[in-house]
Amino acid sequence: MLFNSFTFLVFLCTVLPVYYSLSRKAQNAFLLVASYIFYGFWDWRFLSLIFLSTVVDFFVAQRIQASDSPRDRKFLLAASLGVNLGVLCFYKYFDFFAKSLAAILAPLGLDPPAPVLHIILPVGISFYTFQTLGYTLDVYRGRQKATRNFNDYALYVSYFPQLVAGPIERAGHLLPQIMKNRTVTRQAFYSGLSLMVLGYFKKVGLADSVAPFVDHCFQAPWNRSALELYFGACLFSVQIYCDFSGYSDIARGVSRLFGIELMVNFRAPYFAADIRDFWRRWHISLSTWFRDYVYFPLGGNRQGEARTIRNLMATMLLCGLWHGPAWTFVIWGGLHGALLAGRRLLDRLVPGPGKALLPPFLGRIATFHMVTLAWVFFRADNLAKAGQYLQGLLIPAAGKLTPSGPLLPMILFFLLYMGAMILLDGRTTKTGGETLYPEASPAWKRGMALALMMAMLLILGETHEKPFLYFQF
């Protein structure tokens, strides 16, 4: 069930009135059923995987909290990691590793030990697996108390506004809201609707509108000019950001209608002055998850410069692999690891703590282009196409010198959508990522902003429903 579908709007309009008429306990039970219906709409068979993860971590966390034996606690944690990561790896990575092994063995005349099974990837499995693992790890570390209410915990795992593409919520933030009585004020209701409109505008008005230009460049990069490839890569930067941050805004807006606040997942990432700042602003729920549950346990920056760089690279390679079973994602993660490590080494060249290598404006331009180059691997269908794209982009003589199509519309779209994105991010940065205008702003300003976005949706939007890009992860 896509957020940008008529089916979802009917679903939401059906669920909300019933929800408002119930008590807190009944609300949670009803939301749990609604969440299972929402997820089952994709493929009801995969509900068993969510339920398995829920049951395992609910009881494992209780046993960990009740145990005083370090050995038993470690065994229980290993059981949780084994079940959750085992299911994730089988469904998401079995075919990837089977194909990779076959490619290595084929030149040697050997047959692969495991066949390719063509496994269907359950939507959202990467997100809810990390969410439930974070809960168990927090209980193990003593940062979170295990809940004894199964329905509340099941709702925490399967809460439909953020189930299939995040944000990846921490138990310490989401569970207390699920367990307490909730009221939805008129102000919260209208601000939730405003966030939804903002998200739909980013997704349908911006991301989906630039998609044809991006597809034009990435489908046949060997047949495109350097200028086409440059603007195609820049437009993909716009597309991926508006698509995913648009989803997050819709998720936060829908959740606010139920009286539950989800975390802000993006804070104007293309305003970042360096690559570290970018990862403080981009997909915050994922970057902080890898920081807290991978980078810090590896040793973080506490074991010398060489091990810090090793930990950065390992974390970002895993982050790349998390995004998908393809070497393009692994290289994308490795590039970001190298950029983060390089930024750390360059710090030694800048005297004094907290000094920037470049003025903020130049730093933002440089960071945007570094991120955009890395996005080429993220978007390309395979390594060969990524290589062809970069070759045509960075070595113009290797590709076409003249555009294969009208270049002016692409440039105008780039300037228009970059301007719209910067304007939106500039406004939401001033309000802490909440909305374009806070509730204290004059009503005419808020009304004009919503009316303009709705008009642009009608002008630029398509009747064809396009899935969100991050659904594939």
SS3 for 184?
Answer: coil
Residues with catalytic annotation?
Answer: 323
Contact by Cβ (8 Å): 218, 389: yes
Annotate 328-337 with b (16+ C-beta within 10 A) or e (fewer). Answer: bbbbbbbbbb
Q: Please name the residues in contact with 339: beta carbons below 8 A apart, sequence gap of 6 or more.
A: 275, 370, 374
Residue corresponding to tokens 């991978």:
294
Residue corresponding to tokens 């398995």:
52
Q: What Rg do the C-alpha atoms of the chain give, in angstroms?
A: 23
Q: Kindly state the tokens that stand for 309.
A: 């760089």
Q: Kindly state the tokens that stand for 235.
A: 């437009």
Nearest CA among 400, 382, 403 for reference residue 391: 400
SS3 for 106?
Answer: helix
**CA distance to 141, 231, 233, 236, per residue, from 215 (Å):** 46, 12, 10, 9
Task: Please provide residue 400's backbone torsions phi and psi, each rounded to the nearest 5 degrees.
Answer: -75, 145
- What are the percentages of helix, strand and coil residues in the chain, rounded to 5? 75, 0, 25
Q: Please name the residues in contact with 331: beta carbons below 8 A apart, sequence gap of 6 or more.
A: 320, 377, 383, 386
Amino acid identity, residue 258? F
